[in-house]
Structure 1
Amino acid sequence: MSTTNPTALSFRSAVEVDVPELVALVESAYRGEASRGGWTTEADFLAGRRTDEDGVRQVVAAPDGTLLVVERAGALVACCQLEHRGDHVYFGMFAVRPGLQGGGLGKEILAEAERRARETWGAREMRMKVVSVREELIAYYERRGYRRTGELTPFPYGDERFGVPLRADLAFELLVKTL
């Protein structure tokens, strides 16, 4: 009799062969009609791509970080980027399959990411940037101990690597959590 929990999550660092599936996951969580199956969609204010294979490949190859692949029963269900930046770790490229959003999976992954930031790099702080009009997403992170800094970075209008804006008031807000 196996003692393996089929609903348990496993975490590993992404490798080159994961790149196409990771791109598809990130796109499905944020852009296009598929993203509307979850609550993290950006489809109402950003069109175009969220990322591409080159962008994901750069994250996978970065020497001071990792792109965590999250699997359940051998299937890719989520991912997130952790990048060591001196006294803190940057958290990004967080994506959960749309049909699995809203069930506590993200909270579990975020807790594991924070644990790894503390244990791997001795980080005292986790930082992330969130599109400032994403009030529901910002509230999600606030419930998990992140605070709004009010520090805004202009959205890179005209640079389609970040998407095609559908409104003129986009910016990134820095959120921070003491670990």
Structure 2
Amino acid sequence: MRNVILSVGSEFPEFKKTAVISIEKGKEFYELSSEELKASGKWVVMFWWPKDFTFVCPTEIAEFNNHYQDFVDRDAVLIGASTDSEYVHAAWRRDHADLRGLHFPMLADTSKSLATELGILEENEKVAYRATYIIDPQGIVRWVSLYDLNVGRNVKEVIRVLDALQTDELCPCNWVKGEATLAN
């Protein structure tokens, strides 16, 4: 049975999950919910990776962190997620130099329920594909990209698409912020 991937125009599923927000003892965990995100009135960029303690994943997570301020400047909440537990996330953050100073939460979908609802759970290994969702302030999916397990994504492209969506105008191929959009 093939997964049906939640796509553009769909309402992002409701969830309440534990996230790792710090490596400081006693302040590591936070319950993050879709309700809280919707109430913030901000755009949300949620990106998924397959497994902690692997090779491609930390390169992506570190690159998203390098561009964290770009998301903040665009009034967007950045969230990383995988099906690993919050304890594995916390251990990985403490262990990996590039992950210690993350500015965004690492969501733990240990039940795999959100990954399943999104249609991004790989059938054999039961881990999430490299998926990225851009969700508007009303909770509607406006962009989704999905990569195979062994291919890293381009964070600058995620930012470019977020910029284009936020114009609410027609944006031509390869459009970047500051360029003219298409007139109706």
Q: Same fold (TM over 0.5)?
A: no
Task: Considering fraction of residues, name the structure with more strand.
Answer: 1
Specify which structure has the bigger relative contact order, considering alpha-carbon pairs within 8 angstroms and separated by 6 or more residues: 2
Normalised to the residue count of structure 1, the TM-score between the two structures is 0.28
